Every structure is written in C-alpha cells, then in structure tokens.
C-alpha cells in the first residue's frame, strides 16, 4: 500500500465525471469496467499491485480472492468484508446527487481521514509520471 493514491480523471469511473463518455457516467461503479475505466477503489487496488484484469467486473474489494485481498488489507475488515472507509469511498464515488468538484473534495477528505493522500491528474501520462515519482520517494 502506498500512502498516496493517484486518480486519472480521464479514466475515473465516477457518476457525473465530465471527462468520460456520458454512457459511463451513470450506474454503480465496478472496480474496473470493460472500457478500462476504474472507480476510486479500483485505482487504489491497481496501485497496490493488483493487475487491472483481476479487478475487471468486480464491484468491491472484498469480492476479490483472498490472495489479492492480502495486497489491500487496509480496505478489508476481519471476516472479509469491506471496511467502513471502503464503503464510504464507494458511496461518494457513486453519489448521483453530488457535484463533481464536491465529490473530489469529499474523497480527498476521506483519504486524509486515514492519514493518506489522494491526488487527481488529468491524463494517463500524468498518472504514470506521478506514480513513478511517488515510488521514487517511497510514498
């Protein structure tokens, strides 16, 4: 687990995200959908070393295999259930009534409540650069 999660807004599967095609802006999120879009928890999972193909079509982290859950134990509570943090993140990510900017702010505050950082970038290239930078600094 890294102390910082980076979300590429051009691939963020979130209700109301103006940066993705309209047909992908509604409905409950999956960690990763068939178009390569990921919810906030999907980005967390892949940045913790889980292959994107392993989260395809999966709704929540507790639905992953035990082997994969070991990489994201900070999202899973005892008994293989999603942590309260995880449930709150999914609720915010999928909130249909929340404005886009407010959603980003609420998620940043949620990450901060755990002592972590959440950063939004605009492109996949920026995502790769930021992750490389964070790995180099140990974040």
Domain range for 25 is 4-137
- pLDDT confidence of residue 87: 96
pLDDT-derived band at 5, boundaries 50, 70, 90: very high
Residue-wise pLDDT tens digits, 16-63: 888 888 766 556 679 999 889 999 999 999 999 999 999 999 999 999
Q: How many domains does the chain have?
A: 1
- pLDDT confidence of residue 119: 96
- pLDDT confidence of residue 44: 96
Residue-wise pLDDT tens digits, 82-128: 999 999 999 999 998 999 999 999 999 999 999 999 999 998 889 88
User: Distances in Å between the alpha carbon of 134 and those of 32, 101, 130, 139?
Assistant: 23, 24, 6, 5
């Amino acid at each position: 687990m890294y102390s910082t999660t980076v979300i590429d807004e051009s691939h963020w599967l979130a209700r109301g995200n103006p940066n993705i095609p309209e047909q992908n802006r509604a409905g409950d999120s999956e960690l990763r959908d068939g178009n390569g879009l990921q919810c906030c928890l999907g980005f967390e999972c892949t940045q913790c070393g889980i292959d994107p193909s392993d989260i395809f079509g999966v709704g929540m982290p507790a639905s992953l295999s035990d082997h994969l859950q070991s990489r994201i134990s900070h999202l899973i509570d005892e008994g293989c259930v999603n942590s309260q943090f995880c449930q709150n993140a999914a609720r915010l990510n999928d909130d249909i009534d929340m404005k886009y900017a407010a959603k980003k702010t609420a998620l940043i505050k949620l990450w901060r409540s755990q002592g972590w950082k959440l950063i939004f970038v605009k492109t996949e290239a920026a995502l790769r650069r930021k992750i490389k930078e964070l790995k180099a600094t140990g974040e």
